[in-house]
Structure 1
Amino acid sequence: MLEIIQSGGWMMVPIIICSILALGITVERFWTLRSVQIAPRDLLARVWGWMKNHQLDSARIKELRASSPLGRVLAAGLMNSRHGRQIMKESIEEVASHEIHEMERYLNALGTVAAVAPLMGLLGTVFGMIQVFSEIMAQGTGQANVLAGGISEALITTAAGLIVGIPALIAHRSLQRRVDELVVFMEQEAIKLVDVLQGDREVADSSEDAK
């Protein structure tokens, strides 16, 4: 493996750096974007229980805010519910915007790696072919080992760029899809909360939906 990397030339260094970066981001985001950590399915049902039992006080709201991103969104709505539907929705949207930004952290970097790694491989290919033609001009076509070295460098960097870029692209699409699903769920839970607190929906029905 080390010999292959060395044969690829200096362009293998940034490609390897990209692979480490992509792996780190992928593992960290898949671990962070677990639904149980971002948007627990039973969280809204717990809020309904607090409301029915008249336990929804500042301590509960503080606990809710510290629990998860969805908890912070719901807490923002609860804290501003007495100001009317519009203010409540605006406060929820403001907090949700920040939470979505946090959920999408590093995804742009992962997408950049997915796009750049194959281009780095292509650049390595160009350098390898330049080397081949330079040797041809200097020594003719008699030095087969020199020509093979340049062609090998070209092929190795191309393959390495694709090996890094393809999984990075798949991971980026998968993570973006996961973020979208979490955002939709959080929006649905927030709408249920607004409807209940503003009198457009019964708590019992919403509690059943949240289960």
Structure 2
Amino acid sequence: MLNFTWSSCQEVAAFIAKGGVLMLPILGISVASVAIFLDRVWQYRRAHCPIERVYEEIDRLAAERRFEEATAVCERYRQAIVPGALCCVLRNRHRSHEEIEKAVSHVGSLALQRLSQHVRLLGIFGSIAPLLGLLGTVFGMVKTFMNIAELHGNVNPSLLAGGIWEALLTTAAGLTVAIPTVLMYHYCERNVDEFAFHIKHYSLELIETLSRHD
């Protein structure tokens, strides 16, 4: 098992070496992208809660004017995003609708900013990786044709083919990294958009409940 692992590592190292120096930043992008994605998934899990069930309980208590108990429910899920916004609504219930919405918007913006942290980097990485791969291929092709020129055209076709496929390695590596990175970026964006929708939707619903039972 140990020999197999060592030989696999050697094969990967040889593969990267054949691709040239630009394989290193592509490899770095892949590692950074996975690290960011796993961190964001962990944050989304922490920010999530069974919002429909939680909101029904908060809405019922608010309708009965049991505001302290409703706030306590929000505090119970204080790590989640939406209950934090609902707690802001309850604490500002004596203010006007415009002031409550402004306060919720501020709290929600801060929460969404935390959830969006580093997400833009995934989009940048997804765009840069294939370009680095293409650049590496261009460099490889230039090197191959320079070698052909030095040999005055007396080139073995197999040698030419070997130089071309090695040049194409960086393009393949760049696309291999870029495709899952773009998918991870859109997954994170969708989660942030979903949290933003829930914050707005349930906050307005709770404000409406408070206005009906004022």
TM-score range, shorter chain: 0.7 to 0.9
Cα distance in 1 between the residues matched to 2:116 and 2:109: 11
Q: Which residue in the other structure is 1:24 paired with? A: 35
Q: Which residue in the other structure is 2:203 paired with? A: 190
Q: CA deviation at 1:4?
A: 1.3
Q: Which residue in the other structure is 2:88 paired with? A: 76
Deviations 1:117-160 (A, max 9, x none): 00000010011011012112222333547644532331100000
Q: Which residue in the other structure is 1:154 paired with? A: 167
Distance of aligned partners of 1:158 and 1:141 in 2 relative to their CA distance in 1, 3 Å threshold: same
Distance of aligned partners of 1:172 and 1:73 in 2 relative to their CA distance in 1, 3 Å threshold: same
Conserved? CA contact 1:135–1:147, under 8 Å: no
Letter in 1 for 2:38: V
Cα distance in 2 between the residues matched to 1:146 and 1:11: 22
1:66 is paired with a residue whose SS is: coil
Letter in 2 for 1:138: E
Cα distance in 2 between the residues matched to 1:186 and 1:120: 39
Deviations 1:173-204 (A, max 9, x none): 122122212221221111111111122xx79x
- 1:165 alignment partner, one of 160, 163, 178: 178
Q: Structure 2: where are the runs of 5+ without partners? A: 1-10
Find out whether 1:43 has 2:33 as its counterpart. no
2:78 is paired with a residue whose SS is: helix
Q: CA deviation at 1:106?
A: 1.4
Cα distance in 2 between the residues matched to 1:91 and 1:153: 58
Percent sequence identity is 28
- 2:23 alignment partner, one of 7, 12, 15: 12
Number of aligned residue pairs: 200
Q: CA deviation at 1:58?
A: 10
Cα distance in 1 between the residues matched to 2:43 and 2:200: 19
Conserved? CA contact 2:129–2:175, under 8 Å: yes
- 2:103 alignment partner, one of 91, 97, 101: 91
Bigger shift: residues 58-67 or 173-182? 58-67
Distance of aligned partners of 1:12 and 1:4 in 2 relative to their CA distance in 1, 3 Å threshold: same
Bigger shift: residues 20-29 or 155-164? 20-29
Tell me the TM-score normalized by structure 2: 0.82
1:71 is paired with a residue whose SS is: helix
How well do the aligned residues superpose, as a CA RMSD in angstroms?
2.5
Conserved? CA contact 2:57–2:70, under 8 Å: no
Q: CA deviation at 1:163?
A: 0.1
